[in-house]
Amino acid sequence: LQHDSEGARRAYELDRKHVFHSWSAQDLLDPMVIIAAEGSHVWDGEGNKYLDFSSQLVNTNIGHQHPAVVSAIAAQAAKLCTIAPGYVNDARSEAARLIAERTPGELDKIFFTNGGADANEHAVRMARLHTGRHKVLSAYRSYHGGTQLAVNLTGDPRRWASDNASTGTIHFFPPYLYRTAFHSTTKEEESQRALEHLEQLVGFEGPSTIAALILESIPGTAGIYLPPPGYLQGVRDLCTRYGIVLICDEVMSGFGRTGKWFAVEHFDVVPDLLTFAKGVNSGYVPLGGVAISPEIAATFGQRVYPGGLTYSGHPLATAAAVATIKAMEDEQTVQHAAFLGETVIGPALSGFADRHPSVGEVRGTGVFWAIELVKNRGTREPMAAYGTSSPEMNQLVAACKSRGLLPFANFNRIHVVPPCNTLVADARAGLSILDEVLDIADGFAA
């Protein structure tokens, strides 16, 4: 790739002068320059090449610059860049069909948004109008987006600055055996006790006041917690019993990430609403949406749905989704993600757990894995306290980067979340860098 270090330096200077970054203290930042990327690799301002084990924000499911998607966006741009949502557009119609065909059950109507947070905002609005109720339940250890309601649904420290009781959000403990809130010793016990806790909470809050329960089918940024046997089915049953709308947030877990089109398929559960974004078009153009059940769609059959946005179903974004989904079918990308999980990443991570005392637990499926790092395996003291980073974690991230690997780190975890179409050889190369870096982590562990 052509390298322009002068251009990269100017981009950096202008960024520091004019760009206000997300979730950051502006003066403490030293952001990395990335001007070029291809497949599973990116290049920094000095022309150094990195293997991207983060898929950016776990969204480039087909890697960077997929030629079929790039040319579909160019073709759509040449034909029609934008059109208001009230008109029929071929790219939007086709994207809605392809998504509806892949979502589980009869979630066959698609409302398009610009990203994940607004998808969740709209899903909750639909649930509230459908049920006539206000409260929404969501899990601790979750992320649902940065807008006011979505960040209040979120169960991580990013919520704290925007806490607002009027959003009607109430949090429950999800199952998490490694740090169980329920004193469980087996997955089955954890599942059952987490369900009992949830049912109690519903009882105390009053089922007739609860519009929806939202959860990530497999929680992502919060730590990639695979729900234990029976949990998701139990939540589904509980919602059905009490007339609560079940919203599964598949913004991160959808579109191949877990080795299936949607993570709910692993558990045979069909939610009432399913939200998506990120992998729907690998983030090439911002796009998200809500897949809607026939019952909820019928609520808005004769009655106006009071919501919308200028770019709902934007032609460039939906043309990118059409090309992405077709490329994923042609190249069997979802099957490849499952294969990587079963035969490359999963076995390598089990080996890390056996060999490295700093590894407390590994968990995941497909190209969706977490390595939970501890200072002490006996006490399970995390390598960074909840909600923080630590000098040790910062050093491990720097060690990955100096070896040409871009990791995804959160608190005391390193996630292994490369693109779904990462080549086996690249996945192995990244894993062997992680193996080396875990030797350093072992030095921090007692």
Binding residues vs ligand PLP (CB under 6 A): 57, 115-117, 120, 143-145, 216, 220-221, 249, 251-252, 277, 288
Tell the smallest beta-carbon distance from residue 210 to ligand PLP (Å).
Answer: 20
Instruction: Give the nearer residue to ligand PLP in terms of CB position, either 259 or 286.
Output: 286
Whether 269 contacts 240, CB under 8 Å: no
Instruction: Give the nearer residue to ligand PLP in terms of CB position, either 250 or 372.
Output: 250
**Residue type, position 29, single letter:** L
Instruction: Give the nearer residue to ligand PLP in terms of CB position, either 58 or 399.
Output: 58
Instruction: Give the nearer residue to ligand PLP in terms of CB position, either 288 or 360.
Output: 288
Tell the smallest beta-carbon distance from residue 100 to ligand PLP (Å).
Answer: 20
The residues, any chain, with a CB within 8 Å of residue 111's CB and separated by 6 or more, are 122, 126, 289, 290, 292, 305, 312
What would you report as the CA-atom Rg of the chain, rounded to the nearest whole angstrom? 22
Residue nearest to ligand PLP (CB): 116
Strand order in the sheet with 169-172: 109-113, 288-292, 273-276, 245-249, 210-216, 135-139, 169-172
Task: Give CA angle at 18 (13, 24), nearest 5°.
Answer: 95
- CA diameter of the chain: 65
DSSP string, 307-358: ---TTTT-HHHHHHHHHHHHHHHHTTHHHHHHHIIIIIIHHHHHHHHHH-TT
Tokens representing 98? 């392809």
Tell the smallest beta-carbon distance from residue 202 to ligand PLP (Å).
Answer: 23
Instruction: Give the nearer residue to ligand PLP in terms of CB position, either 152 or 192.
Output: 152
Instruction: Give the nearer residue to ligand PLP in terms of CB position, either 62 or 151.
Output: 151
Tell the smallest beta-carbon distance from residue 114 to ligand PLP (Å).
Answer: 8
Q: With CA atoms as reference, report the closest residue to 332 among 36, 62, 2.
A: 62
Tell the smallest beta-carbon distance from residue 24 to ligand PLP (Å).
Answer: 15
Please report which helix (H) or strand (E) contains residue 17, including its range: helix 5-18
Tell me phi and psi for residue 438, to 5 degrees. -70, -25
Place of tokens 């954890």: 190
**Which residues are registered as beta bridge partners of 131?**
none
Tell the smallest beta-carbon distance from residue 78 to ligand PLP (Å).
Answer: 27
Tell the smallest beta-carbon distance from residue 183 to ligand PLP (Å).
Answer: 28
Crossing angle of helices 187-205 and 231-242, in 10° steps, is 20
Tell the smallest beta-carbon distance from residue 190 to ligand PLP (Å).
Answer: 21
Whether 397 contacts 352, CB under 8 Å: no
Tell the smallest beta-carbon distance from residue 272 to ligand PLP (Å).
Answer: 17
